[in-house]
């Protein structure tokens, strides 16, 4: 079992709609809209009846399980909102789950406007096919102006497929471009697949772009236990953000956890864009206990990686995750070119695994990518306690890219870079500008040592450290390890069907490994808060000393 870190269970309970309903309305294709709807025998018949009826706060509207309802479920503030303590719920009854089938290219499965205190759960939404549909499967739209806050909304156990834009889209589309939005939005246990010719699987976005200029649109959203797959994307000018699994923006204190994203992004034709699970323009947000794998990008395009902390993010984390077999980098910290957003700072990638990532050329993508397209400083971005394994040919353990001199007071520490593929010799790689970040206490193993640092490639750690005397050096002494980390099991591991640390034991180190008690105390040295646990739930440190990699041994 994985420890849920940083999630308010009170938030989930507050959105659960667990109180006794004020009324229950039933909907059955064999019913009649002339009925009162208050029993299965007197059920309503159509979505139109639900859409046009003012539902009392706290009532439940339940569709007959196993049945299909053609049309669009449309929920609006004036007719369908609940109140504090009276959550209005829409779901299924009887055996199975009801299907709401959007019959035309323009139809959404669920379209809401400014709803509050509403739970939608245990429903299936189907469209006419991602290449035909122009709509999203579930679209929560906010039109309130003047930074109004909406609360009490949950999407739970929904299945969404066959829509051309996003699977689940939450969009603050305000006329005044203010950051009106949701507090404590919950998206839980949803399946999103076979969507996205132009959109993303799950996407939170707002008109009020840039947290440098605006408050967060979404505060404390939780995306928990969702599976997002087979969403290829396409051309989505001007952003190129199509084909990602889960993407959030304009959020503060968001949590994405226990999610799996795979086989997304293959249809993206824009120059950049899709990643399995990522965020941009967010603060204090966390991705944890997730698996992201076999994600792709279009031929000749960049990205297609596992996880990403991107432009404008501050104080964000990716921790306790498993990335593997992605076209792009397993993990990325990157600032795209936009001086109007917050500078990239204070972000962390820790206690994760990357396995055989960076499979699509160019191989510069690597297991980890760090870079910025800007000349603004990007301070205090740290990567530590991760294990990077690759048997892919010609791969980089870490690729330090694009203005790396801006990563001041930033550290890559106590990581394992274990490469076995033929010609996997670029252990470290950077562009010609000398990186500012420091490599400290890492374990490196590859067929050939090749460290491109600045304009020069070094073939030994000694010559590299002589040229850059702060690298892998504490008090004048070397702190790196160039040796086999002696991992416990056979690699690669492959799929675990969602993050499951019990299936990743191969990445623990043996008792005789140089990584055991071989790490540096980066808290004492650099003031870095190392967190409470390793990837396997072990407290940090064990016995007073730190290990290298994602596992903290006894």
In tens, the pLDDT along 148-182 reads 999 999 999 999 999 999 999 999 999 999 999 99
- How many angstroms separate the CA atoms of 478 and 468, rounded? 12
- State the pLDDT at residue 363: 56
CB atoms within 10 A of CB 458: 20
- State the pLDDT at residue 302: 77
Peptide linkage before 471 cis (omega within 30 of 0): no
- Inform me whether the pLDDT recorded for 1 exceeds 50: no
Report residue 364 as tokens. 């510069």
Peptide linkage before 264 cis (omega within 30 of 0): no
- Inform me whether the pLDDT recorded for 362 exceeds 70: no
- Inform me whether the pLDDT recorded for 415 exceeds 60: yes
* DSSP run (H or E) holding 368: strand 368-372
Q: Are 112 and 139 in contact (CB under 8 A)?
A: yes
**Local confidence band at 390 (pLDDT 50, 70, 90 cut-offs):** very high
| pTM recorded for the entire structure | 0.95
- Inform me whether the pLDDT recorded for 8 exceeds 70: no
- Inform me whether the pLDDT recorded for 11 exceeds 60: no
DSSP string, 11-67: HHHHTS--SPPS-EEEE-TTS-TTS--SSGGG-B--HHHHHHS-PPTT-EEEEETT-
Share of the chain above pLDDT 70, in %: 95
- How many angstroms separate the CA atoms of 473 and 476, rounded? 6
Average confidence (pLDDT) over 290-299: 92
Average confidence (pLDDT) over 426-448: 90
Nearest CA to 384 among 437, 329, 432, 310? 437
- State the pLDDT at residue 299: 72
Label residue 189 exposed, middle or buried (CB < 10 Å: 0-12, 13-18, 19+): middle
- Inform me whether the pLDDT recorded for 13 exceeds 50: no
**Local confidence band at 56 (pLDDT 50, 70, 90 cut-offs):** very high
For the segment 76-135, what is each residue's pLDDT rounded down to a tens digit?
999 999 999 999 999 999 989 999 999 999 999 999 999 999 999 999 999 999 999 999
- Inform me whether the pLDDT recorded for 9 exceeds 90: no
- Inform me whether the pLDDT recorded for 473 exceeds 80: yes
**Local confidence band at 238 (pLDDT 50, 70, 90 cut-offs):** low
What is the CA angle 195-330-529, rounded to 5? 120
For residues 343-355, b (16+ Cβ closer than 10 Å) or e, as one string?
bbbbbbbbbbbbb
- Inform me whether the pLDDT recorded for 185 exceeds 70: yes
Which three-class secondary structure state does DSSP give residue 125?
strand
- State the pLDDT at residue 240: 64
- State the pLDDT at residue 239: 58
- Inform me whether the pLDDT recorded for 534 exceeds 70: yes
Average pLDDT, the chain: 93
For residues 285-304, b (16+ Cβ closer than 10 Å) or e, as one string?
bbbbbbbbbbbbbbeebbbb
Q: How far is CA 378 from the centre of its chain?
A: 21
- Inform me whether the pLDDT recorded for 17 exceeds 70: no
- State the pLDDT at residue 271: 67
- State the pLDDT at residue 401: 87
- How many angstroms separate the CA atoms of 467 and 455, rounded? 12
- State the pLDDT at residue 273: 76
- How many angstroms separate the CA atoms of 463 and 334, rounded? 29
DSSP annotation of 9: H
Of 74-78, 82-86, 358-362, 452-456, least confident by mean pLDDT is 358-362
Q: Are 116 and 80 in contact (CB under 8 A)?
A: no
- Inform me whether the pLDDT recorded for 422 exceeds 60: yes
- How many angstroms separate the CA atoms of 218 and 169, rounded? 13
DSSP string, 414-479: S-EEEE-STT--EEEEE-SSPP-SEEES-EEE-SS-EEEETTEEESSHHHHHHHSTTTTEETTEE-
Residue 548 to residues 85, 142, 148, 447, 449: CA-CA distances in angstroms?
49, 46, 47, 20, 19
């Amino acid at each position: 079992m994985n420890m849920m870190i940083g999630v308010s269970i009170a938030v989930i309970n507050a959105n659960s709609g667990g109180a006794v309903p004020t009324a229950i309305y039933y909907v059955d294709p064999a019913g009649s809209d002339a009925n009162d709807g208050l029993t299965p025998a007197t059920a309503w018949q159509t979505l139109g009846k639900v859409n046009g009826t003012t539902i009392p706060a706290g009532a439940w509207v339940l569709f007959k399980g196993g049945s299909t309802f053609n049309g669009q479920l449309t929920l609006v503030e004036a007719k369908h909102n609940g109140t504090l303590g009276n959550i209005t719920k829409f779901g299924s009854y009887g055996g199975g789950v009801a299907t709401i089938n959007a019959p035309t290219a323009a139809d959404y499965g669920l379209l809401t406007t400014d709803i509050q205190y509403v739970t939608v759960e245990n429903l299936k939404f189907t469209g006419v096919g991602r290449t035909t549909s122009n709509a999203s499967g579930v679209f929560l739209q906010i039109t309130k102006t003047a930074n109004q806050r909406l609360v009490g909304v949950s999407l739970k156990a929904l299945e969404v497929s066959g829509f051309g834009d996003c699977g689940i889209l939450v969009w603050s589309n305000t006329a005044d471009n203010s950051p009106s939005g949701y507090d404590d939005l919950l998206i839980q246990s949803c399946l999103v697949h076979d969507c996205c010719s132009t959109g993303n699987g799950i996407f939170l976005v707002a008109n009020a772009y840039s947290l440098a200029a605006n408050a967060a649109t979404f505060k404390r959203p939780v995306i928990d236990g969702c599976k997002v797959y087979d969403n290829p994307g396409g051309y989505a000018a001007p952003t190129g953000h199509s084909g990602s699994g889960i993407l959030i923006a304009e959020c503060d204190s968001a949590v994405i956890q226990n999610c799996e994203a795979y086989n997304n992004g293959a249809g993206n034709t824009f120059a950049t864009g899709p990643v399995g699970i990522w965020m941009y323009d967010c603060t204090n947000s966390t991705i944890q206990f997730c698996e992201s794998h076999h994600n792709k990008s279009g031929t000749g395009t960049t990205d297609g990686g596992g996880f990403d902390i991107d432009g404008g993010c501050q104080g964000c984390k990716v921790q306790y995750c498993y990335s593997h077999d992605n076209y792009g980098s397993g993990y990325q910290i990157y600032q795209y070119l936009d001086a109007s957003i917050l500078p990239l700072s204070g972000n962390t990638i820790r206690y994760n695994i990357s396995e055989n990532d960076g499979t699509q050329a160019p191989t510069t993508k690597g297991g980890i990518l760090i870079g910025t397209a800007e000349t603004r400083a990007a301070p205090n971005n740290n990567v530590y306690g991760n294990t990077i394994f690759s048997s892919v040919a010609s791969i980089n353990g870490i690729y330090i890219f694009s203005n790396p001199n801006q990563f001041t007071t930033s550290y890559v520490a106590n990581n394992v870079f274990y490469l076995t593929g033929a010609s996997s010799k670029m252990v470290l790689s950077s562009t010609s500008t000398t990186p500012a970040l420091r490599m400290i206490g890492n374990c490196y193993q590859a067929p050939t040592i090749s460290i491109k640092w600045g304009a020069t490639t070094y073939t030994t750690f000694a010559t590299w450290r002589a040229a850059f005397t702060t690298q892998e050096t504490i008090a004048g002494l070397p702190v790196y390890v160039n040796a086999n980390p002696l991992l416990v099991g056979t690699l690669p591991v492959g799929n675990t069907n969602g993050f499951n640390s019990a299936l990743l034991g191969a990445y623990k180190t043996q008792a005789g490994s140089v990584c055991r008690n071989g790490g540096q105390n980066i808290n004492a040295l650099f003031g870095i808060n190392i967190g409470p646990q390793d990837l396997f739930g072990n407290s940090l440190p064990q016995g007073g000393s730190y290990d290298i990699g994602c596992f903290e041994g006894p």
